[in-house]
Structure 1
Amino acid sequence: MTLAQLIEQARARVAEAITARQQAQDALMALRSDPNLTEELVNERVTARDAADAEVTRRQEELAELEAEQVREEEIAALQARITPTETRLPAYDRVARVGAEERTYRPDADPNGQVFLKDVARAFVMRDFMATDRLMRHLREEQVERGEYLTRATNTGNFDGLTIPQYLTDMFAKHAKAGRPFANAIRPHVLPPEGMNVYIGRGTTGTDTGIQAAQGDAATEQNYDDTLLTIPVQTNAGQQTMSRQAVERTSGALDITMEDLFRAYGTKLDSTLINQATTGLSAVATAVTYTDASATVEEFWPKIQESLAGVETALLDQVTPGSFISVMHPRRWRWMNQALTTKFPLIQQPGLDARSGGLNYGEVYGDGFRGLLPDGTPVIVDANVPINLGAGTNEDEVYTLSRDECHLWEDPDAPFFIRAEETKAANVQILFVVYGYFAYTHQRFAQARKISGTGLITPTFTGS
């Protein structure tokens, strides 16, 4: 992830913290207008408002540090570009080598869909096209300047040449997917370490303690803090596509359409793995909350969501990050909840939500951030990678509630997907393309996630009741 992207992310977090602080202040002001208020309630709301204030300050400090780093980087770049005059006499005009502004070999204005790049890969590796090879080598030198560390890993880890995809194509492909990566985009991102096949983080297992002193001079309570090492394996997500040379050389657009689909499949598989992988996926590690109902309704389902959120909050206690709770569900479950009608209003009004509504639909398209809010203000991620073939009847889905800050995903910076083209299919007049990337993840630093499952989550019926 670039410094500019980190700054944008930090700005978004500041905005979220400011919104949370305003909601806390609004709740406090609303309480003060209540004739039946008590000092205890006022103190509770003041504490919540002050905590939101502190979070705004912390987020602002993080943003300020990143912006200061960016200013320093710009200063260094300016120093590098500075020309120091000397007393040396300039050489004759015809003895000077001049370098103008050199454009990148593959640019979004000249090759927006990557078709030229992909054809050069095929022609250079299979047809031995010298012009295509020259363009790829020029691109390789450009990548060595900008992303040398990751390029070294790409070209030195196999018995064949590796090619780094132009970054603007990676950015374009990463934003579009099949089922997509809505959940992966919502959880806590980290930069994958440049070496090793495991990521290590500490996990506290035994906390310190205090006690009430029975008599003066008695020894204070002592409980030693203990932690354990959580080892997270680095996994490889890879796919390949074999195409005929006729399709590559004679068909307009076939190659870029095929490769774009392969990139979309990469993102979908990553997201599906985070949810469905045996032993470590979200579904495997989440604590079950069973919802059994032969004729499920949204009103009857709602208490189960509150039960699961209570489990998340109890597991994390003071480790909860404000605004980090989310719910993840399949599109069919979100639409089922949207179609429900009710004459009942919640007993407890939620900050920023009309008590007469059962939640809020943002009206966003699939894969574009949060789809809306539940009646208690919990944001919803809609993800088609949530399974819908569970249970005895193979027709149940699951709904997850969790703190997204306690779900961790490590990926290579700038999403460096790589392409390889080999001659293994030459006898069949075909070309082999391979895409791969490394990642690591864990939902197990705290056992906090919950999943609602059971017969109440079979294929929904849209009755309007």
Structure 2
Amino acid sequence: MDKREAVADILAKRSAKNEELTKLLDTAKTESRGLTEDESGRFDALEAEVRAFDERAKELDAQIRADDAAAEMAKRYAPSGIKVTSEPEIYRSGLGGRSYFRDLHLARNKGDHAAIDRLARNDRGRAADPEFRAISTTNGAGGEFVPPRWLEDQFVRLARPGRITANLTPSFPLPPGTDSINVPKINTGTATAVQTTQNSAVQQTDLTTTSISSGITTIAGGQTVSLQLIEQSPLNVDDVVLADLAAAYAVSLNTLVLSGTGSNSQPTGILTLSGTNGVTFTSASPTLGLLYSKLAGAIQQVHTKRYLPPDTIIMHPSRWAWCLASLDSQSRPLVVPDTASPFNAMGNQSGVPSQGYVGHIMGLPVYVDATIPTNGGAGTNQDVIIVARMADLMLWEGNVKAEAFAQTYANQMSVFIRLYNYMSFQAARYPASISVISGTGLVAPTF
């Protein structure tokens, strides 16, 4: 599929999504009502997809125009017999694609000028990309480069299922050249009071400020690969190695966001932060009905201390499965599918995903995250449930970088491929935004 065919395909998909949007609005209009909560959620999701299609179509259109202009210029100025065409992406996925890791090896360890040039052109292309978030360091000898676009797209796609809580946190590009992030915060505020008499002094209390600081954490991993696999194998080692490192990075990042200790270069995670709202669920025979009141308690803690509502419930997949398995006295499920138009249900179920968004309880979206710890309590068999205003949290990430080394592995004809990234996380601005439910009522469920 060339770029023009890709644009046509995108426009066709956009048209289908737009028709679905129109049907949603027409249905509500015909029934003389507004959109339901589910319809509003679907409307927002469709609208986001349409915008994404528009942006991609514009990007491809600009590339096509640039290619056409370059081709026309080439006809006028290129020597006779030489035909200039647009250059395809330097690195591509699958069999037959040029290996990014192979070029890293050739550039760093063998000084291959062609490989160095390809890596440099890839970096220049990434730097010109409007979605390229961080500055890479290229020393001209194949030392440190940013993975090509298709690899980073794969990285994000593969990492996403392992970093549910991290993805729910507002994310920002990590500033270069810093070893800590400092966010200002008002420590004590101003005050007002009744003016006792006319022309008397009014209340004057100066606010004071402080800042919340978080260090920069390095997450890194590597893989030793045989030289034969890099130089001779038809298999694109990029697909295999990056997929594995991406999944490992995702788990590490998400675990730090949840349970970082605040020491040994780790950030302070949501579950280790002091000052959060603790809700204890004690029960020898826990039920969803008992948990329901604890969820209400966790929500009201955020309401009364943060003065803004929580926006998310996060739990372990096994805890959500326990909720789905809970029945009333007539053996009817208490959490039922959205499609069933539930009446007076404790919660709604949206499909059966393994991780991510799964439904609603008390009007809040529920997400399941497999990295929620399940070894709490005296019996090391309890999980926790987080009710939080995730909009108050902040996560900074750099851009993943890659290197290849052969020096210390020369005697075994191997190459060490290393990927790393920097991150910083802050949950301490508003600890009252977070409620954590724990206790004997959350022992490992049985089915």
TM-score range, shorter chain: 0.7 to 0.9
Shift of 1:218: 3.8
Paired letter, 1:371: V
1:326 to 312, 330, 345: 312
The question of whether the paired residues in 1 share the 8 Å contact of 2:160 and 2:167 is answered with no
The question of whether the paired residues in 1 share the 8 Å contact of 2:155 and 2:242 is answered with no
Equivalent residue, structure 1, for 2:357? 370
Deviation readout 1:283-303 (Å, 9 max, x if unpaired) = 011332111212211111111
Which residues of structure 1 form unaligned runs of 5+? 1-14, 29-59, 61-68, 84-89, 346-351
User: What's the % identity of the aligned pairs?
Assistant: 29
Secondary structure at 1:230's aligned position in 2?
strand
2:194 to 212, 232, 235: 212
Shift of 1:384: 0.9
Q: Output the CA distance in 1 between the equivalents of 2:222 and 2:299.
A: 41
Deviation readout 1:336-384 (Å, 9 max, x if unpaired) = 1111112599xxxxxx9844211111115234x421101x111111111
Equivalent residue, structure 2, for 1:396? 382
Shift of 1:392: 1.4
Distance 1:458 1:391, change over 3 A: same
The yes-or-no answer on 1:426 pairing with 2:410 is: yes
Distance 1:78 1:215, change over 3 A: farther
Q: Output the CA distance in 2 between the equivalents of 1:288 and 1:431.
A: 49
TM-score (norm 2): 0.73
2:279 to 289, 292, 295: 289
Distance 1:115 1:371, change over 3 A: farther
The question of whether the paired residues in 2 share the 8 Å contact of 1:124 and 1:132 is answered with yes
Equivalent residue, structure 2, for 1:455? 440
The question of whether the paired residues in 2 share the 8 Å contact of 1:362 and 1:371 is answered with yes
Secondary structure at 1:282's aligned position in 2?
coil
The question of whether the paired residues in 2 share the 8 Å contact of 1:200 and 1:232 is answered with yes
Which moved further from structure 2: 430-439 or 285-294?
A: 285-294
Shift of 1:398: 0.9
Q: Output the CA distance in 1 between the equivalents of 2:426 and 2:232.
A: 45
Q: Output the CA distance in 2 between the equivalents of 1:243 and 1:93.
A: 43
Q: Output the CA distance in 2 between the equivalents of 1:112 and 1:363.
A: 35
Q: Output the CA distance in 2 between the equivalents of 1:219 and 1:455.
A: 56
Q: Output the CA distance in 1 between the equivalents of 2:143 and 2:77.
A: 43
1:244 to 219, 226, 249: 226
Distance 1:127 1:179, change over 3 A: same
Which moved further from structure 2: 287-296 or 441-450?
A: 287-296
Shift of 1:457: 1.2
Secondary structure at 1:311's aligned position in 2?
helix
2:346 to 358, 365, 371: 358
Secondary structure at 2:242's aligned position in 1?
helix
Equivalent residue, structure 1, for 2:298? 308
The question of whether the paired residues in 1 share the 8 Å contact of 2:404 and 2:416 is answered with yes
TM-score (norm 1): 0.70
Paired letter, 1:190: F
Shift of 1:136: 3.1
Secondary structure at 1:284's aligned position in 2?
coil
Equivalent residue, structure 2, for 1:223? 205
Equivalent residue, structure 2, for 1:263? 246
Distance 1:210 1:78, change over 3 A: farther
Q: Output the CA distance in 2 between the equivalents of 1:114 and 1:343.
A: 60
The question of whether the paired residues in 1 share the 8 Å contact of 2:92 and 2:98 is answered with no
Deviation readout 1:166-215 (Å, 9 max, x if unpaired) = 11221122112396011111121222223311122111221222223344
Which residues of structure 2 form unaligned runs of 5+? 1-20, 35-46, 48-54, 70-74, 263-267, 333-338
Paired letter, 2:300: A
Q: Output the CA distance in 1 between the equivalents of 2:124 and 2:173.
A: 24
Q: Output the CA distance in 1 between the equivalents of 2:279 and 2:136.
A: 44
Deviation readout 1:415-451 (Å, 9 max, x if unpaired) = x211100122112221101111111111111122111
Q: Output the CA distance in 1 between the equivalents of 2:418 and 2:299.
A: 42
Equivalent residue, structure 2, for 1:190? 172
Q: Output the CA distance in 2 between the equivalents of 1:434 and 1:328.
A: 32
Distance 1:132 1:284, change over 3 A: same
Equivalent residue, structure 1, for 2:368? 382
Q: Output the CA distance in 2 between the equivalents of 1:261 and 1:147.
A: 27
